């Protein structure tokens, strides 16, 4: 494949990622609403560690486990922000 072909492939993957991130964000918003009703904290370090452990465990590469966790740390930051009252 040529560079243009790889870039087209990346564009297609980005479209899938944005769709999945939007679905994940909708779930985070719903969880945030439930947390607000039960006065639960937004930040749950044990849950976040469980997510990091999970994504490292299922990581097929070529990203290292540390790189996957770096990505997920940012994802979790954004999702946590969505759970805060606006």
- Contact call for residues 83 and 35 (beta carbons, < 8 A): yes
CATH number of 72's domain: 1.20.59.10
Q: pLDDT tens digits for 7-21?
A: 999 999 999 999 999
The whole domain housing 47 covers 3-83
- CB-count burial class (<10 Å; 0-12, 13-18, 19+) for 52: middle
Residue 86 confidence (pLDDT) = 74
- Contact call for residues 47 and 34 (beta carbons, < 8 A): no
- The total number of structural domains that make up the chain: 1
Q: pLDDT tens digits for 39-78?
A: 999 999 999 999 999 999 999 999 999 999 999 999 999 9
């Amino acid at each position: 494949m040529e560079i243009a072909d790889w870039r087209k492939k990346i564009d297609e993957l980005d479209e899938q990622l944005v769709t999945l991130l939007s679905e994940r964000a909708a779930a985070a918003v719903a969880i945030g609403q439930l947390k607000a009703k039960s006065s639960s904290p937004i930040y749950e370090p044990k849950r976040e560690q469980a997510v990091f452990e999970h994504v490292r465990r299922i990581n097929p590469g070529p990203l290292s486990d540390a790189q996957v966790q770096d990505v997920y740390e940012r994802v979790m930051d954004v999702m946590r922000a969505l759970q805060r009252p606006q």
